[in-house]
Amino acid sequence: MASKTLSSEIEKMIRHLCLNDFPCGNGSWVSFRWTRKSKDSGDGPERESADELLDLLKCPRSPWGQVDDSWSPQVSTLRELAVLTPERLRKKFIYNHFTTLRIVDKGVSVIDDGLLKFSKLEELVLSANLLTEIAVESLPITLKVLELRANRLSSLSGLSSCRLPQLQYLSLGSNPIGLHEDVSCITGRKWPQLVCLDLSDCDFEDQQALVDALSTLSYLKTLILEGNPFTLAPAYPGLTVDTLTQLAYLDGSDISPEERQQFRGFATMNDLKADTALATVIVGRMRGMPDPTVRVEGSAPELFVTTKYYIFYEFPSHRAPDNLVIHSSYTFPSHKYQKISVWQNEKQNDKTKQSRGYKQEYLPVSNSKPWSLIY
């Protein structure tokens, strides 16, 4: 599939504004120039004609008002200028008019140098596209907001040479990033004015290394880390809150003075478990197990059924840990049960009953350790 550049998509959107077509532009429907009238000139047809053309742009029932302006708040003002002063609509003027561009879910795969023509651009949103790398040489240094959420970025190495001195908001969430090299790219030396950072739903595993890098961001007030593997560790959010003392909001919630007091000292603890995790999985449906609420008649012979179980775990990471240990399957007698949270049945006996919506699930008792995963 051919790559789609960002500048080509923006140019297509600008063409769809029809800036040189009726009622915009300087076409044959404009028989004179609109000029400022003197006090005594009254309301002449010149002024009314300009207002009528503007009404065609603004009226919700007008076919000329049905233009997609969601990709930039400057679209409406640019179209008005195309009516009032069409002679100003040169390419450079159009490019400099935009301070915000939101190109979302358009299949863009390349940030090309055509973006540099927008020399006054302050906000760039490129969420839900197909970007695999960040071409920093194509980003205007005037950017204050950069959103690259839900793309295909696997590395932040492209940011290693990036300097965006005015950047205040950066969103990199929902990308498969999280290598040690990625952590080293997030520093205050590159983004000295950064206030808000979104790294949610990524693959960062080393909380200590990440917060050490984030501590160089002197103005950082809002941080989103939820969805990363290390957020399952008992040390989260205590280590992050205690290390980043300037933070005001973490994962969408404000950090209260009571929380700061509760987590005080986490950053200096030597035996802090920052690389282990504990997860509870609840099953809402079970098949192939006798219903424990149904009593069997005393005269009926007791059935001895052996059932094997296996479990699949899906971790929030694109890379399996090197030291991951999964306990093998167990074989249990079915006449003893205990509550447990994770299972999947492999066989089903004719005498068993399917159950749905149980609040508490049951599995056979074993002296061995239940199903578990160890890092």
* pLDDT band at residue 169 under the 50/70/90 scheme: very high
Percent of the chain with pLDDT over 90: 45
* pLDDT band at residue 6 under the 50/70/90 scheme: very high
Mean pLDDT, range 67-86, rounded to an integer: 87
Q: What is the pLDDT of residue 290?
A: 67
Query: 281-323 pLDDT, tens per residue?
Result: 777 777 777 666 666 565 556 666 666 666 666 655 545 555 5
The DSSP result for 165-226, as a single string, is TT--EEE--SSS---HHHHHT--TTT-TT--EEE-TTS----HHHHHHHHTT-TT--EEE-T
Mean pLDDT, range 2-6, rounded to an integer: 91
Query: 199-213 pLDDT, tens per residue?
Result: 999 999 999 999 999
Pair type for strands 222-224 and 249-250? parallel
Judged by DSSP in three states, 291 sits in coil
| Distance in angstroms (rounded) separating the CA atoms of residues 222 and 360 | 39
Quick one: which of 147, 129, 22, 173 has its CA closest to 86?
22
Q: Which residues are CB-neighbours of 240 under 8 A, at least 6 positions away?
A: 207, 211, 223, 225, 247, 250
Residue type, 73: P
Return the C-alpha torsion angle 276, 282, 288, 292, nearest 10: 110
| Distance in angstroms (rounded) separating the CA atoms of residues 188 and 191 | 5
On whether the CB atoms of residues 129 and 108 are closer than 8 A, the answer is yes
Which is more confidently placed, 319 or 152? 152
Q: Is the pLDDT of residue 14 over 90?
A: yes
Q: What is the pLDDT of residue 341?
A: 36
* Predicted structure pTM score: 0.71
Query: 219-258 pLDDT, tens per residue?
Result: 999 999 999 999 988 899 999 999 999 999 999 999 999 9
- Encoding tokens for residue 154? 């696997």
Q: Is the pLDDT of residue 31 over 60?
A: no
Q: What is the pLDDT of residue 210?
A: 95
| Distance in angstroms (rounded) separating the CA atoms of residues 319 and 178 | 10
Which is more confidently placed, 23 or 259? 259
| Distance in angstroms (rounded) separating the CA atoms of residues 152 and 155 | 9
Q: What is the pLDDT of residue 72?
A: 96
| Distance in angstroms (rounded) separating the CA atoms of residues 130 and 4 | 9
Which is more confidently placed, 330 or 189? 189
Q: What is the pLDDT of residue 284?
A: 79
Q: What is the pLDDT of residue 328?
A: 42
Q: What is the pLDDT of residue 39?
A: 46
Quick one: which of 218, 27, 10 has its CA closest to 98?
10
Instruction: Work out the burial of residue 349: count CB atoms within 10 Å of its CB; fewer than 13 is exposed, 13-18 middle, 19 or more buried.
Output: middle
Q: What is the pLDDT of residue 65?
A: 65
Residue type, 78: L
Q: Is the dihedral of CA 22, 25, 31, 34 positive or negative?
A: positive
Q: Is the pLDDT of residue 168 over 80?
A: yes
Q: Which of 32-46, 147-161, 268-282, 309-323 has the highest mean pLDDT?
A: 147-161
Mean pLDDT of the chain: 77
* Residue 274 DSSP one-character state: -
Q: What is the pLDDT of residue 337?
A: 35
Q: Which residues are CB-neighbours of 252 under 8 A, at least 6 positions away?
A: 224, 226
| Distance in angstroms (rounded) separating the CA atoms of residues 309 and 327 | 12
